[in-house]
Amino acid sequence: MIKVGQGFDVHAFAENRPLILGGITIPYPLGLAGHSDADVLLHAISDAVLGALGEGDIGKHFPDTDPNFKGADSAELMRFVWEMAEAKGYRLGNLDATVIAQRPKMAPYIPEIRGRVAGLVRAEISDINIKATTTEQLGFTGREEGIAAMAIVCLLKN
């Protein structure tokens, strides 16, 4: 059986926060605002997995009104989501995600992010694709007000 899911998320830049994307900390003067660590990329990927499973979204499973998730490590949330997928008998077919950011330049960090994401979903690095685009200085990402991310996953079950 094949299931596909997509995810999309946005977080605004904020001062005095680390910038965490794809489970790694990226050196940058600004971080992202959020109830959790605001890892917009892992949120999009988690939502894609939940979508494929027909299980809603991360806001349903980890409400931003719940103090338990204040400052939450999104890698832990992703791990929980992935355990749901495995409990239902799924493995990853492939995953493709895009970070939409005018800055920072993501290219130097993509190999490390791929490895981190592969570990979280217990997959081969070759089944994980992470890419980045600017919006040519247009819109909220172009004005460097925040970062968006989108993801699509394919889950397989024998």
Q: Binding site: what residues are annotated?
A: 9-11, 35-36, 43, 57-59, 62-66, 101-107, 133-136, 140, 143
At residue 112's C-alpha, the angle toward residues 29 and 122, to 5°, is 130
Which is it for the CA torsion 117, 120, 36, 50, positive or negative? positive
Point out the annotated binding site for a divalent metal cation: 9, 11, 43
Q: Pick the stretch among 31-39, 54-62, 131-139, 150-158 that binds ligand L45E5XJ5 (CB under 6 A).
A: 131-139
105 binding ligand L45E5XJ5? (CB under 6 A): yes
Beta bridge partners of 9: 149
Contact predicate 92/63, CB 8 Å: no
Beta strand pairing status for 128-133 and 24-26? Answer: unpaired
Place of tokens 């909220």: 140
Pick 20 or 132: Cβ nearer ligand L45E5XJ5: 132
For the segment 40-69, give every residue that binds ligand CDI (CB under 6 A).
43, 58-59, 62-64, 69
Q: Which residues bind ligand L45E5XJ5 (CB under 6 A)?
A: 101, 105-107, 132-134
